[in-house]
């Protein structure tokens, strides 16, 4: 397993993120799906572990597109079972993008000030 930067957005149920079919992370996600996200929330560093699965339904892709627009102001549109976009991060490989949803299994919160004891959450 390796770590790669991604732009993840919370839909209210799960984190969604996009990956070009040719990106190094895509074959891992398609074959295994084990994934984690590390997020700096100022007062706490959050690590979320879970299972990533490809989103191919129109409703799921529309929800991801909405989340990307709300969080990053990134305009995407549903194109078949992927998202298209007028632009992407320079290292992304460009559109179209497969969408993955990370369903959390457990998370670890590491406070950055005051409290020094980490907290674990399970779903």
pLDDT value, residue 90: 77
CATH at 39: 2.30.110.10
CA torsion sign, 58 to 103 to 12 to 20? negative
Q: What pLDDT is stored for residue 83 in this prediction?
A: 97
- Whole-number pLDDT of residue 94: 87
Residue 25 confidence (pLDDT):
85
- Let me know if residue 46 belongs to a domain: yes
Provide the pLDDT for residue 43. Answer: 84
Total domains in the fold of the chain: 1
Q: Which residue numbers in the chain have pLDDT < 70?
A: 1-3, 115-116, 120-121
Instruction: Indicate whether 3 belongs to any domain.
Output: no
Name the residue range of residue 34's domain. Answer: 9-122
Helix, strand, coil percentages, rounded to 5, for the chain: 20, 40, 40
pLDDT of residue 121: 65
Instruction: Please report the pLDDT score of residue 112 as a whole number.
Output: 83
Give the whole-angstrom CA distance, residue 72 versus residue 2: 24
2 domain residue, yes or no: no
Select from 46, 71, 58, 70 the least CA-distant residue to 99: 58
Considering the domain boundaries, does residue 4 fall inside one? Answer: no
């Amino acid at each position: 397993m390796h770590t790669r930067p991604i732009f993840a957005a919370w839909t209210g149920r799960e984190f969604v993120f996009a990956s070009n079919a040719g990106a190094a992370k895509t074959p891992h996600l398609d074959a295994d799906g084990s994934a984690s996200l590390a997020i700096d929330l100022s007062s706490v560093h959050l690590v979320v572990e879970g299972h990533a699965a490809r989103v191919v339904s129109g409703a799921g892709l529309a929800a991801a597109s909405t989340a990307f627009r709300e969080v990053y102001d990134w305009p995407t549109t549903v194109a078949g079972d992927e998202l298209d976009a007028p632009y992407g991060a320079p290292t992304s490989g460009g559109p179209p993008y497969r969408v993955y949803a990370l369903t959390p299994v457990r998370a670890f919160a590491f406070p950055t000030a005051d409290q020094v004891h980490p907290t674990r959450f399970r779903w």
